[in-house]
Amino acid sequence: MRQLLWLLGATAVLAAINVVLPRAVNPYIIQIIVLCGINIILAVSLNLINGFTGQFSIGHAGFMAIGGYGSAMFTLYVGVGWVSVFTAAHVPVPVAQGVALLAALIVGGLLSALAGYLVGLPSLRLRGDYLAIVTLGFGEIIRVLILNVDAVGGARGLPGIPGWANFFWVGLGVTAVILVSRHLAMSTHGRALFAIRDDEIAAEALGVDTTSYKVLAFVMGSFFAGVAGGLFAHFLSYLNPNSFTFIKSIEVIAMVVLGGMGSISGSVMAAIVLTLLPEVLRPVKEYRMVLYSLMLIVLMITRPGGLLGSREISLSGLLRRFRPARERA
Amino acid sequence: MAEFLQQLINGITQGSVYALIALGYTMVYGILRLINFAHGDVYMLGAFFGLFIARLTRAQADPNPLKAAAVLLFAMIGCGLVGFVIERFAYKPVRKSSRLAALITAIGVSLLLENGGMLLFGADPKFFPQFIPARQFALGMGVTISNQQLIILVVSISLMLGLRFIVLHTRAGKAMRAVSYSHTAAALMGISVDRIITFTFVLGSMLAAAAGVLVALQNPKIEPYMGIMPGLKAFVAAVLGGIGNIPGAVLGGLVMGIAEVMVVGYLSPTWRDAIAFVLLILILLVRPSGLLGQPPAEKV
């Protein structure tokens, strides 16, 4: 019940901001905010795999690509038809588009989750670095596949996707992925994941079905990566296989590690920092990427556990800190 | 048949370059359990160092074998220094932290080398001076081999034999093998682990530099991002052969090179980047520890 209220409240707030935002700031800032949101979804979903379960996946861009292309194709072949049917039946346009977008995102997410299942089931039996290498290979194979399939535009990219995603939808996606991860972390299943991360052999000895839990985390992570891909597609209205290279996967990993493995709020913060950093560094032009990489190295050397470590920032925690000492005692 | 043999020769040449790069990955992984993502960029730097020395010695206007050797040698020394600096200032400080922190640092170094390269060398491709004019030798049955391919084969095979000698028959090599077995035990036996790790990095970087110069001889277009794909593929080759295993890296590199050339020759050039990874996934599913790797013992 409380969660439902939270969700409704968040929806209302997001909708209100969505109305005000275009009048308050210019499109460039909105684009950065939305990209921040998409990166948050990616980072938090990868955190489920890398941070919670301790499995090392470096193919997140591949899952994002599947979700992006899957949902874009769904919209182009089905969703657009739905919208015209709905508007003919006098459903308000934003609602009609919202329903179609939601369906497309779910389709993209499910396709990506299916891919995660197919990749994960055989490879999660491998230990440690081998999973990393398989996911790396998977991400590259997906990209080459897209490059070679003419029906999705190949190397030219896929233009003409309706730009239905906006601040509201991305915000909703962020809320969903954070709520799901938080609940997972508090649940029995989450504890099982942590046990696998801390000591896989001990977890197995205590009766945790390690393979199926690892697959569960992997499938959930891929689902949200697919949703992020769908939002990305419907926000930019254009997809290109070059958006989903190995470098993109690396960016997401950097967010998770920088935020502190396993910390949801850390992933959120690092996603924002690493999205803003290249933008803030724009004035120094050609030195931008050099500074970015230098900062990454220096941050890892000075704070190897990530910005937050495995701690979480929460509203109640902050309130407790600011409450007078007398009351606390 | 003639075409197949020709492809095989091209594949082996390509594969021996992958093998040279893969050796660096596998040695560093064997000792530190670190995937050194910056290794492909060291290979790129090797090609650029070669370019500068070739320009400095005006090797194109007045080519002779001595200058060619100097280009190779100084590129290797330059990259050895780069490897030393990277290890000392980026990897050493995070060695005690988690392996992921080390990995992200490696990725940071890789980005730094690529973008620093962009800044220093410019984004437009540079042309590596062709100081060894291409000549074809007929081997019979319509199969030919170019002198450049011969040089690649001869140089890479002699470097591999040299590495084999260092690892198996010198004190430093013995120490390397000891450190890769156990850091603590090696330290207790009086081996300076830090020094051996540095030595490994320098050795690997020198091999990558040689690969960079050799590739530039054949494909003279060099640019700062040229190391990404060969780096990834060489890493895959190292895993294919069993990561941490030196003969495995050579075998993996050859398999990879031959498979890639065959795909380009008989299927379609657009699939050449995918074959490496398809091959990798297939082999990992059947033999998770690679072609020559030993499955790790599981301690409870």
Q: What's the CA dihedral at A212, A213, A214, A220 to 10 degrees?
A: 110
| CATH number (domain holding residue B239) | 1.10.3470
Of the pLDDT bands very low, low, confident and very high (cuts 50, 70, 90), residue A329 is very low
Whether residue B101 and residue A305 make contact (CB cut-off 8 A), yes or no, is yes
pLDDT of residue B192: 92
- Report helix angle A60-74 to A246-259, nearest 10: 120
Identify which of B104, B236, B300 has the shortest CB distance to residue A300.
Answer: B104
**Mean pLDDT of the region B280-294:** 79
Most confident of A48-52, A106-110, B101-105: A106-110
Of the pLDDT bands very low, low, confident and very high (cuts 50, 70, 90), residue A74 is very high
Of the pLDDT bands very low, low, confident and very high (cuts 50, 70, 90), residue A320 is low
Residue A15 in this model has a pLDDT that exceeds 60: yes
pTM over 0.80: yes
> Given CB atoms, is B120 within the 8 Å cutoff of chain A?
no
Position B225: which residue type?
Answer: Y
Q: Which residues of chain B make contact with A132, given a CB cutoff of 8 A?
A: 35
Would you list the domain boundaries of chain A?
26-328
Q: Which of A37-46, B82-91, B95-104, B207-216 has the lowest mean pLDDT?
A: B95-104
> Given CB atoms, is B62 within the 8 Å cutoff of chain A?
no
ipTM score here? 0.83
Please tell me the total count of domains within chain B.
Answer: 1
Please count the helices (runs of H) and the strands (runs of E) in chain A.
Answer: 15, 0
Position A327: which residue type?
Answer: E
Q: Which of B222, B243, B73 is nearest to B158 (CA)?
A: B73
Mean pLDDT in chain B? 88
The position carrying tokens 């370019």 is B51
> Given CB atoms, is B98 within the 8 Å cutoff of chain A?
yes
**Mean pLDDT of the region A92-108:** 90
Task: Name the minimum distance, in Å, from the CA of B63 to any CA of chain A.
Answer: 36
Say if residues B291 and B283 touch (Cβ distance below 8 Å).
yes
Q: Which residues of chain B make contact with A59, given a CB cutoff of 8 A?
A: none
Structure tokens at A169: 């939808």
The H-or-E segment that residue A155 falls in is: none
Residue A159 in this model has a pLDDT that exceeds 90: no
Residue to test with chain A: of B99, B240, B277, B285, most A Cβ within 10 A: B277
The answer as to whether B294 is a domain residue is: no
| Residue of chain A whose alpha carbon sits nearest to that of B289 | A130
Residue B270 in this model has a pLDDT that exceeds 80: no
Please count the helices (runs of H) and the strands (runs of E) in chain B.
Answer: 11, 4
pLDDT tens-digit map of B30-60: 888 888 889 999 999 999 999 998 888 877 7
Residue A325 in this model has a pLDDT that exceeds 60: no
How far is it, in rounded angstroms, from Cα A303 to Cα A328? Answer: 31
Mean pLDDT in chain A? 85
Residue A152 in this model has a pLDDT that exceeds 80: yes
Whether residue A287 and residue B239 make contact (CB cut-off 8 A), yes or no, is no
More confident residue, B226 or A7: B226
Whether residue B109 and residue A293 make contact (CB cut-off 8 A), yes or no, is yes
**Mean pLDDT of the region A225-230:** 95
Whether residue B101 and residue A137 make contact (CB cut-off 8 A), yes or no, is no
Positions of E strands within B136-291: 136-140, 143-146, 221-222
pLDDT of residue A35: 93
| Residue of chain A whose alpha carbon sits nearest to that of B91 | A301
pLDDT of residue A328: 45
In our burial notation (b when 16+ CB lie closer than 10 A, e otherwise), range A42-66 reads: bbbbbbbbbbbbbbbbbbbbbbbbb
pLDDT tens-digit map of B159-206: 999 999 999 999 999 999 999 888 899 999 999 999 999 999 999 999
**Mean pLDDT of the region B64-85:** 91
The answer as to whether B299 is a domain residue is: no
The answer as to whether B298 is a domain residue is: no
pLDDT of residue A322: 60
Task: Name the minimum distance, in Å, from the CA of B119 to any CA of chain A.
Answer: 7
Say if residues A196 and A214 touch (Cβ distance below 8 Å).
yes
Residue A310 in this model has a pLDDT that exceeds 70: no
Whether residue A301 and residue B90 make contact (CB cut-off 8 A), yes or no, is yes
Q: What is each CA distance from A274 to A9, A174, A244, A257, B245, in whole angstroms?
A: 28, 17, 17, 12, 37
DSSP 8-class letter at A127? -
Of the pLDDT bands very low, low, confident and very high (cuts 50, 70, 90), residue A47 is very high
Of the pLDDT bands very low, low, confident and very high (cuts 50, 70, 90), residue B249 is very high
Whether residue B236 and residue A144 make contact (CB cut-off 8 A), yes or no, is no
Q: Which of A133-142, A212-221, B247-256 has the lowest mean pLDDT?
A: A133-142
Write out the residue range of the structural domain in which residue B187 sits.
Answer: 2-286
Task: Name the minimum distance, in Å, from the CA of B152 to any CA of chain A.
Answer: 28
The position carrying tokens 């079905």 is A209
pLDDT of residue B103: 82
**Mean pLDDT of the region B95-104:** 81
Q: Residues with Cβ < 8 Å from A28, sequence gap 6 or more?
A: none
Phi, psi for B124 (deg, rounded to 5) = -75, 140
pLDDT of residue A315: 61
Under CATH, which architecture does the A26-328 domain have? Orthogonal Bundle (1.10)
**Mean pLDDT of the region A305-329:** 62
pLDDT tens-digit map of B109-130: 998 999 899 888 888 888 888 8
Identify which of A138, A140, A253 has the shortest CB distance to residue B104.
Answer: A253
Residue to test with chain B: of A140, A204, A281, A310, most B Cβ within 10 A: A140
The answer as to whether B158 is a domain residue is: yes
More confident residue, A191 or A91: A191
The answer as to whether B21 is a domain residue is: yes
Query: End-to-end CA distance of chain B, in Å?
Result: 53
The pairing of beta strand B221-222 with beta strand B143-146: unpaired
